Each structure stands twice: as C-alpha cells, then as structure tokens.
Chain A
Amino acid sequence: MSRRTLQQALALTESTALLRRYFVVNGFDGALTMLGILSGFYLGEVADTRIVISACLGAAVALFMSGLSAAVISEAAERKRSLAEMEQAMGKSLQQSAHGTAARLTPWLVGAVNGLSPLCISLLILSPVFFYSPDMRYSPLLTAMSFGLICLFLLGIFLGRIDGSHWLLSGLKALFVGIFTLTIILLLE
C-alpha cells in the first residue's frame, strides 16, 4: 500500500481532521488513565514497580483494543453507508474505484490512530517506571506522573496549533485538566 493510496483515502473520505481529533481525544484518555492509576499507586504507597507496570500495561493494552475496535466498527459502518449513498447517486458500483478502497481502508487508519495514540502515550508516561532500578535516585511514580502532565501539556499545544490559539494558553488549559484530575483523586483518598 503506497503513501499516495493512504493520502487519497484520507482526502476522499475527508478524514484528516477526524484523525487529528481521535489522536488528541484518545491521547487524553491514555494520559489521564495513566495519571489516575499512577496516583492511586502513589497514594497507596505501592513500591513494587512490577505491580505498577502490570496494571498500567493492562490498562494501556485495553485502551488500545478499545480504541481500535470501536473506531474500526463504527467507521466501517459509517463508510459503508456513505459509499452506498454515493453509489446510489452515481448509479453504479464504486467498489473497484478509489472510493471503494478508501471506504475499506479508512476505518483501519482511524482505528490505528485511535488505538495507538493512547497506547504510545501510556508507554511514554510509563517509561520512568520501566527503566527504574533501585540504585536510581528518583521516584518512578512521581516522575511518571510528571511525564503524564507533560504529555497533556504537549497535547494542549498540539490542539492550540490546530485552532490557531496561543500555544502556551492551550497547553496550560490541558495541563489544568490533568492537575484537576489529580486533585479530585487526592480528595477522594
């Protein structure tokens, strides 16, 4: 599958904005889920990083599968309907055309972004826990939580670039969501 085919599929189905939206929305899901689990472990004073890794990896894989399957199923149905409407308007089958290819390919592209976005962000946030060894002089949970807040800030900057607002303001808004989430978790404990 060539790069041109992918670009054509995205152009024909006008899905570029959808991919951006899914990347940010599910990236937020991944970052906030990791922040929630990590803060829970931190407050529960769980010191064994293997338990933290198992729980967080489980959640990250679940987010990946949820993002992938939900997007593929819903987008496939949407594209099928859209193609059928276009076939009716054209009065012929479009299965062998670029539109048919795009209708089959786009759900998987959207699903990949929808699933990989939270997975990659979760793995990035977990990296201080993965690479931690007892002789290192940092708190793996606090460092990972800081990574989570940084990821939220970066996602905010990305959103700011899309809507043309100030990058710092947009980044701080997203960061506030993370800090607010942590505050709620702290208050619940």
Chain B
Amino acid sequence: MIKLTGVVLDVLKPHQPGALEFANSIAQCREGLVVNLVVVEMDEKTHSLSIEITGPDIPLDNIESVINDMGGSVHSLDEVQVVNDNSD
C-alpha cells in the first residue's frame, strides 16, 4: 500500500491564528506527525508559509481541511515523499 510519509506545502494564511497554533492544529490530525512550519513572507494581512510534514501515514485531505478551517489555503504541493509499505 502506498503511504504518504513526507510533504511540503506552500500555504497562505491570515495573521491569526498564529504559527504555533496553526502547526499544532495540523499536528493534531494524526498521531506521529511532525510539522515544520516556516514563515516565508509576511504581508499586511497574510503570511506565506512553507509547511513540511512528515509521518508514517499523512492524512493529506484532513490536513487540507484543517488548513481551510483556519482560513488558510494550500497553494501548491511542493515536495512529496511516498513509500510502498506492505507491512499492513
């Protein structure tokens, strides 16, 4: 089974919620997720982020939904890492 184990997202979000709460909410999507959030650019009302997420099985749909709920939007999927894991 193909599993998503790493992804880098280009995200635009309003200033609120802050970077820490934003990263926390993403990490809460599934146990074992590691979120590395970098603010790339800051405008008057928005932050451009590069979010690197790693984990054994990343629920990308859930993560996109959480980002949308917080007012953000995923602009692009910049990097992807998948593994063919037959251990299940």
Contact = CB atoms under 8 A, between A and B. Distances in A.
Interface of A: 8, 11-12, 14, 85-86, 89-92, 94, 96-99
A22 to B, nearest CB: 20
B71 A94 contact: yes
Given A12-B17, A14-B16, A98 B70 contact: yes
B73 A86 contact: no
Contacts of B68: 96-97
B73 to A, nearest CB: 6
Contact of A99 (B43, B44, B71): B71
A89 B13 CA distance: 9
Contact of A90 (B17, B21, B46): B46
Contact of A97 (B12, B43, B70): B70
Interface of B: 12, 14, 16-17, 21, 43-46, 68-71, 73
B73 A89 contact: no
A89 B45 contact: yes
A102 to B, nearest CB: 9
16 contacts: A8-B17, A11-B21, A12-B16, A86-B71, A89-B14, A89-B43, A89-B45, A89-B46, A90-B12, A90-B14, A94-B14, A96-B68, A97-B69, A97-B71, A98-B69, A99-B16
B73 A90 contact: yes
Q: Name the 10 nearest CB pairs between A and B, nearest first.
A: A89-B45, A97-B71, A99-B71, A12-B16, A89-B46, A94-B71, A86-B14, A98-B70, A97-B69, A92-B73
A11 B20 CA distance: 13
A99 B13 CA distance: 11
Given A11-B16, A12-B16, A12-B17, A86 B45 contact: yes
